[in-house]
Amino acid sequence: MSGSLLEGRVIAITGGGRGVGRAHALACAREGAAGILVNDLGCDLSGQGSDPSVADAVAEAIRVEHGVAAEADHHDVGEAGASVRIVEHALDRFGRLDALIGCAGVSADQTVMKLGDELLDRMIDVHVRGSFGLVRAAGRAMIDRGEGGAILLHTAPAAFFGAMRQSALAATTGAVVGLVRSAAVELRKHRIRINALAPTARTRATEELPLFKGIGPGSMGPEFVGPVGAFLVSELAADVSGEVIGAAGTRVYALHGRETPGWFGDAEPPRAAEVASAWPEITRA
């Protein structure tokens, strides 16, 4: 049974052909969105190759199963100018853009010492430059229309906690956190909300990670994440901006930075030995 939470709204979703992005697309369709642009290059986990049928299949499922207008888009988020073309595609097809969900991503299960520059550059292009491009392009469209809007980007828990063989993911999605926190302040006057989602879900990119060993195949799937995304781009979250929300199975939580009370030295610059002596107080929460 479809809802009406997103009735009348047009939503563009990058990386919408598989995994968490697909879950967002289907969740938005179930909530009665007026139109959905499903962007996906159809590449492999390292961002190489393309397969138009990936986005095409999701758009078709939305039309047939949910009766929602949907169109596929095959631009590469990591290419210069692609963000503008994606937003223009949504505007040309549906006449407006109310929300953008940026979910396209690249994986690199490699240690910092073995990660090659080519793969690192690809991750920077997609996660960092792509996110900036999407915020600029979608933000400009929303500002020009003058009715506000919502942007939801994706980061990863590793950006906060680190993870073995995930330094590139942690670094590039950590940049997304900084972008969201700052852009939320800048875009507030335009009534544009921007948040980030840090999903933990079993997808083709994560299913071989130790975290999912021993966990049943029906647990922690991307379908648990989609409704959280639908909420964050809906009017139910009209007062939510600058947040980073985690979603892992049935658990939904907020990720915040931590600042300790700290230690105050004397008026003079401290000696290194003084900092060492005060270290327990400096780091105590």
* Model pLDDT for residues 117-162, shown as the tens digit of each residue: 999 999 999 999 999 999 999 999 999 999 999 999 999 999 999 9
Kindly state whether residues 224 and 284 are assigned to the same domain.
Answer: no
Give the largest Cα separation in the chain, rounded.
Answer: 71
One domain for residues 145 and 285: no
Q: Is residue 43 part of a domain?
A: yes
Does 277 lie in the same domain as 246? Answer: no
Total domains present in the chain: 2
Asked whether residue 206 is assigned to any structural domain, the reply reads: yes
Q: Is 71 helix (H, G, I), strand (E, B) or coil?
A: strand
- Tens digit of pLDDT at every position of the chain (285 positions): 468 999 999 999 999 999 999 999 999 999 999 999 999 999 988 889 999 999 999 999 999 999 999 999 999 999 999 999 999 999 999 999 999 999 999 999 999 999 999 999 999 999 999 999 999 999 999 999 999 999 999 999 999 999 999 999 999 999 999 999 999 999 999 999 999 999 998 777 776 666 677 677 677 899 999 999 999 999 999 999 999 999 999 999 999 988 999 999 998 999 999 999 999 999 998
Instruction: Verify that 133 and 271 share a domain, yes or no.
Output: no
- Which strands make up the sheet holding 149-154, listed edge to edge? 69-73, 35-39, 10-14, 99-102, 149-154, 192-200, 244-248, 251-254
- Residue 222 sits in the same domain as residue 279: no
CA 24 to CA 29: how far, in whole Å? 9
CA–CA dist 55, 52 (Å, integer): 6
The angle at the Cα of 247, spanning 244 to 251, to the nearest 5 degrees, equals: 125
The reply to whether 108 and 174 lie within a common domain is yes
Q: Which two tokens stand for residue 160?
A: 């906060």
Domain span including residue 285 = 260-285
Would residue 2 count as lying in a domain?
A: no
- Please tell me the distance from the alpha carbon of residue 65 to that of residue 61, in angstroms, as a whole number: 6
Contact 148, 190 (CB under 8 A): yes
Separation of alpha carbons 208 and 231, rounded Å: 29
Kindly give, in sequence order, each residue whose CB lies less than 8 Å from that of residue 176, ignoring residues fewer than 6 positions away: 127, 128, 131, 153, 154, 155, 159, 196
Q: What is the pLDDT of residue 214?
A: 67
Q: Does residue 37 lie in a domain region?
A: yes
Is residue 5 included in any domain, yes or no?
no
The answer to whether residue 274 sits within a structural domain is yes
Rounded Cα distance, 185 and 182, in Å: 5
pLDDT value of position 1: 44
Token digits for 60? 């078709």
Classify residue 3: in a domain, yes or no.
no
Which CATH number belongs to the domain containing residue 185 in this structure? Answer: 3.40.50.720
Residues sharing a CB contact under 8 Å with residue 126, sequence separation 6 or more, in sequence order: 47, 77, 78, 104, 105, 106, 172
Q: Tell me if 211 is assigned to some domain.
A: yes
Q: What is the pTM of this model?
A: 0.95
Nearest to 51 by CA among 23, 18, 12: 18
N- to C-terminal Cα distance for the chain? 47
The confidence score (pLDDT) of residue 6 equals 98
pLDDT value at position 208?
67
196 lies in the same domain as 212:
yes
Q: Residue 199: CA atoms inside 13 Å, Cβ hemisphere, count?
A: 28
User: Does residue 194 sit in the same domain as residue 69?
Assistant: yes
278 and 241 assigned to the same domain: no
